[in-house]
Structure 1
Amino acid sequence: MLPPTYRSGWPLIPSVSPAPPPDASDMPTPPSDDSHLRKRTPSEKPPSSRNAPATPTTPAQSPSHGVPNPSTRTSKLLVALISLALTSYFAYNKLGNIVQPSSPSEPYALCSREGAHIYTLDAKNPRVQCLVVNGSKFMSSGSLDQVLSHWHETTPGQPHVRFLKPGQIVVPGLSDSHAHVLEYGATKQMPLEGTKSIAETVGRVRAYIEADPDILEDKTKYVEGWGWDHTKWLLEEWPTYNALEADPIVAGRPVVLQSKDGHALWVSLTVLQAMEPLPDEVEGGVIVRDSFGKPTGVFLDNAQDLVIRPEPTYKQLQKRFAATVKDAHSLGLTAVHDAGFNPMSLEFFRREAQSSTLPIRVYGMKYFDETAAYWGDSFDKIIRAGNNRLSVRSVKIFADGALRSGGAALYEPYTDNPETRGFMRIAPEMLNEVIPKFMKDGWQVNVHAIGDRANGVVLDAFEAALAKANVTALRPRLEHAQILAQRDMARFGDLGVIASVQPTHAISDMWFAEDRLGPERVKGLYAFRSIIDHGARITLGSDFPVEDMNPLAGFYAAITRVSPDGTSPHGPGGWFPEQRMTREEALKGMTLDPAYASFTEDILGSITPGKFADFVVLSQDIMTIPASDVLSTRVVATVMDGKPVYGAI
């Protein structure tokens, strides 16, 4: 029986914004050595995807699951009356008083009136009408009748019920399996992406200096930026320090500019002179020189370690982290895998986790420095610290460089530069030595490998480790796994190696890849379907700030293999369309598979009773709408531990 009066809906549960960073004194982060300057730890990354959002469209209708799909006006009216009655019923307690959540921690149900529009990624119950959250965890899922019946059997009272708006869906909290958290925050300082020439890039540096009086008036202050991409300039060439010195405002200052893919640094004459004397060669890296043998100011891969700069302060790192988290939450990300904790970033995240609950889940890979002593048997792993939000139980090793800069290690020479096959950044002998050691000591080993030779060498090392460790149980990962020889494809599944890939790299690189690799070898580049068909798991990431942070951009690239404007070198059907992923595989690659790849599938990755209530409300159904409409999808709410951190439910 309906109550005598009716009040529609429930108060929105608002997002819970992370508390602002404490007003810590602007003191330097405790250094990892005795110096206030650090050698730059390289981080890998090729070029960016241009994500131009499409115009929003009306979502396609999908079949209802668990709820009738009325086709007549009468049945629609009946469903509306039932919905009204249910909403009214839950708006009142047994005394007839309106019940409103006093805090977001109270139990609630979130349901769709349109059918099973909650994608759980739970194999036992893949699509449901409702989910129920109790505290920080999912309590149950199913149809409205099922969840209410379960509630009545286990819990006194009634859950608060909210309904999705028409067209909206729910998916588990999204994860980015390969990202650079603090580096992304740093790119907000002076972004250089999108310039068309060296002169335009220098112009941005000048504008940045002129906009900051402290830097303008003090020529000793370091000027740092990120994102230049020489392959996108009208004249494709490496920059030099001369271009920086030619501008009267920029000249004479210490300037350090990181390339878009993270594999090159461009520095000013002031920085170059401070680095002298330079070695003739750097193993696994290149000091770019002119025709007279003089350094030009560009350093590739391991040679970047020679560049020194001041350590950022703790307060600066907090600002970078906060900037990253703000964008991540707005895009539906609840977890990130940080692909390379150097001593500074490791100490920062450890300190943050000890002082407060991290605002996002972070799975960190501890950076391996081949010049340092082996530490796998002495460093204590960090597992689910800070309220299950920080883990450091994997090691990150760099095998080679990047395809864009010609550093990816290939079996055969580059088609467009037959004089080189790229290079390994670490000797195969060392890989065969340290990988079994780390695995024996219980570490997950994650290796950056781009070229087919690099991937083959790393798979050899994983295979050799079988004698000392259960490789599959330790879930080793090939980060990028970009170019694979056919003979290496099957070894992923056989060894239990996870392919950690970035789909937006594919639609960025497809425009130059065949010129670089040739018509046959290019077929092994970003071969996602072949990897899956050989029994391997694929986990998806963006490599932000190299590519767009938006996980839906990766979803779109994985299922279409076309640019955001719908084009590709092979036409609108996609670049090597036979390598596309299904939507189900792509969603799994952003949810359940990243949880598996970070040893958290028992608590994260799906909407399953007992797991932490991380989920995302999307404005339209990415599983059914035309692929061209995916990029117009908005994140309505991002929820962690049952509480919105972005938007409202």
Structure 2
Amino acid sequence: MRLKKLQCSMSVLAALATIAAASAPARAATVIDNAKGHTLNAAGKLVAFSSLAFDDAGKIVAVGDAKRVAAKAPGARHIDLGGKGLLPGLIDAHGHVFGLGQIAAGIELYSSTSLAGALKTVAEFGRAQPQRSWLIGNGWNQEIWRLGRFPTAAELDGAEAARPVWLRRVDGHAGWANSRALQLAGITRDTPDPAGGKIERDAAGDATGVLVDGAMELVDRVLPAPTVAEQRAALDGALAGLARVGLTSVHDAGIGAGEDALFRSYADQGKLSARVYAMIFDTGADFDALSAKGPLNSYAGDMYALRAVKLVSDGALGSRGAALLAPYSDMPSTSGLLFHKDAEMRARMEKAMKAGYQVNVHAIGDAGNRQILDGYQALIAKYHNGALRHRVEHAQVVALEDIPRFKTLGVIPSMQPTHATSDQNMAEQRVGPQRIKGAYAWRTFLAQGSRIACGSDFPIESPNPFEGIHAAVTRQNNAGVPAGGWYKRQAVTLTEALRCFTLDAAYAAHQEKVIGSLEPGKWADFIVTERDLFSVPAERIGKIEVLQTWVAGKRVFQK
């Protein structure tokens, strides 16, 4: 009997010891010292610190001065940063991961400054890649070329006529095809403009070679599908690039079942070196398959989530596909394109909402934004689901009377600061001096209390978040143009810019309790920079170099 009582007592003590161990505070394994660190706290206020401690599980234990942090980290290893900068891992709230990886494998026209230069690049790429059945590329911009028109298939035939060529515009909302590609796509003078798209034509009615928005699908559907090996190579390249620029988390704006499978596989294998908050593209067959078990709020230690849907309202400003309430100032014959009628768009939004998904809709023009705000107004009231934190992706040109509706409805403007500095060469010409007051209006949104989630829309823009922070603060591109800033009254403070690339971007993904700032209990996602962000001149912000990138307490990049 005594033996049984002793065994029982020992079992009780063991159980109590287990409970005590589980409830004991985590023990720091690593301490980062001698840093010029800055983070936001839970209240969104900027906090400076010199030391950061985290445990073997990758969770933060302490942040503050060296003495206080050391007291909470007995026996931990220490890493001396020698006065380098330290920031929370930066978050891009709108990018295209596989698109970024695929850029390196195709024709790069982002740097082309003339039509002749672009055609030379295409011809040289074709000669160097004789085995390719299609020549595919990205990045052309007729505004930079100062053509005053779109390029043509005939011009592209001069660089490559035998094989099909398909080149997406810098904004991804128009494509330039050669004659062979038009032929394979079955595009003739009798081909009607598809819904939400436009086939550019000459005076005789023949296709000139440029397809806008929905018309791009005519070529896209005949493109050879990338192999799994090509997709893996693209993902590897993209993840390496994201780590180099200090991005520890990205919101992937539009994926399908194949990309979802790869993200999960990489997360399972520990190969996902940046957190991915993914959005299912549209509400078609892939959505039906991926949503069968409902939203995936977190996977593999918050490395992956699939709880949002990406829809598209209109096109882009550069290709005049953005839908405007009144005609374009520089082309009164068009007001742009809505991809779907109001009822069709609302049906897509409703389908996603009924399944419990956050709805994130691309809207650039004021008509596109109004269509989506009207949809949110009706559907949020119907389903009482404002807690899903629905978003408008870009919110680029918004009627002044519609901006307050974002705050009233609780809709998040997901915006890209470098879009303003890239578009400054044509934006006001497109919309005129009155509508420009509601364009790229970051200060107006912040002043009314909206949280802005910042991103880049990579690969359309550079994924480097410091270029985005620089644009937000200065309203200049990375070359310092224009002097004094473009519509500088819409600039934000440096702290506000950091917040929109960290805590508020995390909020837009329902992740503000686990990432977005360096606080005890959150993941140790942080970056080390060669200069302290808050000590460099404003003009130097976009040129800050990342030395190290850490995700969940593991270093994923070292310069």
Could you state the TM-score of these two structures normalised by the residue count of structure 1? 0.77
Equivalent in the alignment of 1:211? 128
Distance 1:511 1:232 in 2: 8
**Cα 1:639/1:354, change in 2 over 3 Å:** closer
Equivalent in the alignment of 2:148? 236
**Cα 1:636/1:608, change in 2 over 3 Å:** same
Alignment of 1:132 onto 2:132: no
Provide, for residues 533-578 of structure 1, a one-character-per-residue CA deviation record: whole Å limited to 9, x for no partner.
Answer: 112110110111111111000000000102223232xxx2222211
The offset of 1:507, in angstroms, is 0.8
**Cα 1:264/1:588, change in 2 over 3 Å:** same
Equivalent in the alignment of 2:86? 170
The offset of 1:140, in angstroms, is 1.1
Q: Of the candidates 59, 70, 77, which is equivalent to residue 148 of structure 1?
A: 70
Note if contact 1:490-1:535 (Cα within 8 Å) is conserved in structure 2: no
Unaligned runs of 5+ in 2: 1-26
The offset of 1:150, in angstroms, is 2.9
Equivalent in the alignment of 1:107? 29
**Cα 1:122/1:131, change in 2 over 3 Å:** farther
**Cα 1:558/1:320, change in 2 over 3 Å:** same
The offset of 1:348, in angstroms, is 3.2
Distance 2:270 2:60 in 1: 23
Note if contact 1:179-1:339 (Cα within 8 Å) is conserved in structure 2: yes
Distance 1:210 1:375 in 2: 42
Note if contact 1:370-1:426 (Cα within 8 Å) is conserved in structure 2: no
Distance 2:524 2:361 in 1: 31
Alignment of 1:595 onto 2:509: no
Distance 1:377 1:617 in 2: 38
Note if contact 2:33-2:66 (Cα within 8 Å) is conserved in structure 1: yes
Note if contact 2:280-2:286 (Cα within 8 Å) is conserved in structure 1: no
The offset of 1:372, in angstroms, is 9.1
Distance 1:258 1:592 in 2: 33
Instruction: Tell which deviates more after alignment, 372-381 or 485-494.
Output: 372-381
Note the 1:476-487 alignment, pairs <5 A. Answer: 476-487=390-401
Identity of aligned residues (%): 37
Equivalent in the alignment of 1:565? 479
The offset of 1:379, in angstroms, is 5.7
**Cα 1:408/1:466, change in 2 over 3 Å:** same
Note the 1:443-522 alignment, pairs <5 A. Answer: 443-522=357-436
Equivalent in the alignment of 1:402? 316
Could you state the TM-score of these two structures normalised by the residue count of structure 2? 0.89
**Cα 1:405/1:535, change in 2 over 3 Å:** same
Distance 1:486 1:277 in 2: 40
Distance 1:125 1:251 in 2: 57
Bigger relative contact order, structure 1 or 2, given CA contacts below 8 A and separation 6+?
Answer: 1
Provide, for residues 489-534 of structure 1, a one-character-per-residue CA deviation record: whole Å limited to 9, x for no partner.
Answer: 1111111111110000101112222221111111111000101111
**CA RMSD of superposed structures (Å):** 2.2
Instruction: Report the 3-state secondary structure (helix = DSSP H, G, I; strand = E; otherwise coil) of the residue aligned with 1:499.
Output: strand
Residue type matched to 1:211 in 2? A
Alignment of 1:266 onto 2:188: no
The offset of 1:122, in angstroms, is 4.1
The offset of 1:409, in angstroms, is 1.0
**Cα 1:344/1:303, change in 2 over 3 Å:** farther
Equivalent in the alignment of 2:547? 636
Q: Of the candidates 199, 203, 206, which is equivalent to residue 287 of structure 1?
A: 199
Unaligned runs of 5+ in 1: 1-104, 152-156, 216-220
Instruction: Report the 3-state secondary structure (helix = DSSP H, G, I; strand = E; otherwise coil) of the residue aligned with 1:309.
Output: coil
Distance 1:564 1:531 in 2: 24
Alignment of 1:615 onto 2:523: no
**Cα 1:422/1:127, change in 2 over 3 Å:** same
Instruction: Report the 3-state secondary structure (helix = DSSP H, G, I; strand = E; otherwise coil) of the residue aligned with 1:363.
Output: strand
Residue type matched to 1:443 in 2? Y
Provide, for residues 458-516 of structure 1, a one-character-per-residue CA deviation record: whole Å limited to 9, x for no partner.
Answer: 11111101233234300011100001112111111111111110000101112222221
Residue type matched to 1:632 in 2? K
Provide, for residues 263-291 of structure 1, a one-character-per-residue CA deviation record: whole Å limited to 9, x for no partner.
Answer: 11112222211222663121110011221
Residue type matched to 2:184 in 1? A
Distance 2:291 2:547 in 1: 45
Distance 1:464 1:253 in 2: 49
Note if contact 1:407-1:422 (Cα within 8 Å) is conserved in structure 2: yes
The offset of 1:349, in angstroms, is 2.5
Instruction: Report the 3-state secondary structure (helix = DSSP H, G, I; strand = E; otherwise coil) of the residue aligned with 2:300.
Output: helix
**Cα 1:256/1:486, change in 2 over 3 Å:** same
Instruction: Report the 3-state secondary structure (helix = DSSP H, G, I; strand = E; otherwise coil) of the residue aligned with 2:383.
Output: coil
Note if contact 1:118-1:130 (Cα within 8 Å) is conserved in structure 2: no
Residue type matched to 1:202 in 2? L
The offset of 1:380, in angstroms, is 3.5
Note if contact 1:120-1:128 (Cα within 8 Å) is conserved in structure 2: no
Distance 1:353 1:108 in 2: 24
